[in-house]
Each structure stands twice: as C-alpha cells, then as structure tokens.
Amino acid sequence: MSAFDELDPTTRTELEAAAFRRLLQHLDDNKDVQNIDLMILADFCRNCLSKWLVSAAEARDESLNYEEAREYVYGMPYSEWKELYQPPATPEQMAAWEAHHAKKKAAKQG
C-alpha cells in the first residue's frame, strides 16, 4: 500500500483536485499541443476531460452539460478556442491517428 492510499479521503480528494487543476493549467499553457496529438500519444484529450467531468457530475446527481464542462477545461467557449488555437489536422497527424486507432481496435479483437 502506498502512502497516498493511506491519506484521509478529504486530503486525497484535495490533492487529486489540485493535480487536475494543474493539468488544466499545463494544457492551457501549452495550447500548441493539439488534441489529436494527445489522442495519438495518450488516448485522451481536452474533450475527454470534459466528458469525464460530465460523467463525474452525473454520478453525483449534479447537473453539468458537455459545453459547460468544455468551457471549464478550455478556459473559454470551445468554438472560440478552436478558432484561435486548433489548426486543421495535418495529413501526418491523421495517418498517425488512424494507425493508433487501428492498433487499438486490433488489440481489442486479439
């Protein structure tokens, strides 16, 4: 058992929340890191974080819709962020995404 597992639930939740806020700040500080690159390398992106927030809210019977969650994660409305910071995916990015997706699909079938 790790020391982290031995923390009281409130402290653990506070540390997890602080780490999540730091992740959001890190992503905001690195807007050049595109969602497709995150998906290729880590199989999640800013939109996934938004969906996870919605799921967590639903699990607690709280109301949080996807667009509200995305605005929190992106720090602005998604449409604005996309216009300012998200260029179209390059052919290389799309090829890498398709290869990643195919590998993941094959692993599930195998």
The CATH number of 30-106, from 1.10.1740.10, 1.10.3340.10, 3.30.1200.10, 3.50.50.60, is 1.10.3340.10
Each residue of 65-99: pLDDT tens digit?
Answer: 999 999 999 999 999 999 999 999 999 999 999 99
State yes or no: pLDDT of 18 exceeds 80.
Answer: yes
CB 46 within 8 A of CB 38: yes
The predicted model scores a pTM of 0.88
Spell out the domain ranges in the chain: 30-106
CA distance 12 to 2: 12
Residue with tokens 């807007």: 31
CB 38 within 8 A of CB 86: no
pLDDT for residue 2: 86
3-class DSSP state of 86? coil
